[in-house]
Amino acid sequence: MSSFTTTDGTEIYYKDWGSGQPVVFSHGWPLNADAWDGQLRLVAENGFRAVAHDRRGHGRSGQPWQGNDMDTYADDLAQLVESLHLDEVILVGHSTGGGEVARYIGRHGTARVAKAVLLGAVPPLMLKTDANPEGLPVDVFNGIRAGVEGDRSQFYKDLSASFYGANRPGSSVSQGTRDAFWLQSMQCGLKAAYDCVAQFSETDFTEDLKRIDVPTFVAHGDDDQIVPIVAAALKSVQLVKDATLKVYPGAPHGLTGDYEQAFNADLLDFIRA
């Protein structure tokens, strides 16, 4: 397996397919790089170099006690980019991975970055506060923590329904898709899974978004039950200098079916432009 070791000794697994301008994918919680397989193959078959890593604590990467925080996630991403000597990178982040992309730019700038894609991403802030009334109340995230601490296997099985919109009338989401979500989730270490909840929910990415000075594609489903669009994409697009917003009517949080095909086409258009 391909991997590198971070400065704090954590082994980070990654996939590296194809050749050309690099497109680097950051996955959502509590998944791993496999969540991006369809898009990795897509861009690699169309003349790009596709790279995706398992966040520390997730998938096949090391599971250290320390470093399960957004700054370290961003620094791990930076070390991946540097270790592979990547330039003119197109960063693509889904959900928590979108926060990772924003924080990477906030901490490391865009010297190596050509474009960014934020898909169903958590910025600028998921938590409801007086200044962010569109966010979700802390009880929602406390419920996630309780699910992770308790019977996390069943919790992930249940969570897959709202993640992919399988709980909506007329849904065609397969059991296989939901099973894949469960499998990836169970590969995430308990400590990392628990710690990451605070990171994706309580991190304020406002200043990070303001630092993004490259063309950015902000994409979000308007039936996202995990990261509500009103607290996320609709605000992010106002903070990023050169951002284009695409709203997918009726689409859930996770890529599936027609929604995935539509995003794939838009992704290719954006990275080719």
What amino acid positions are annotated as catalytic residues?
95, 224, 253
Q: Is 59 left (phi over 0), alpha (psi -120 to 50) or beta?
A: left
Give the phi and the psi of residue 115 in degrees, each rounded to 5: -155, 165
Q: Which two tokens stand for residue 184?
A: 């990836």
Burial class (CB in 10 A: 0-12, 13-18, 19+), 103: buried
Beta bridge partners of 244: 217
In one-letter notation, the amino acid at residue 241 is: K
Beta bridge partners of 243: 216
User: Distance of CA 130 to CAs 19, 115, 143, Å?
Assistant: 47, 33, 21
CA quadruple 72, 78, 84, 90: dihedral sign: positive
Give the phi and the psi of residue 262 in degrees, each rounded to 5: -65, -45
CA quadruple 36, 42, 43, 49: dihedral sign: positive
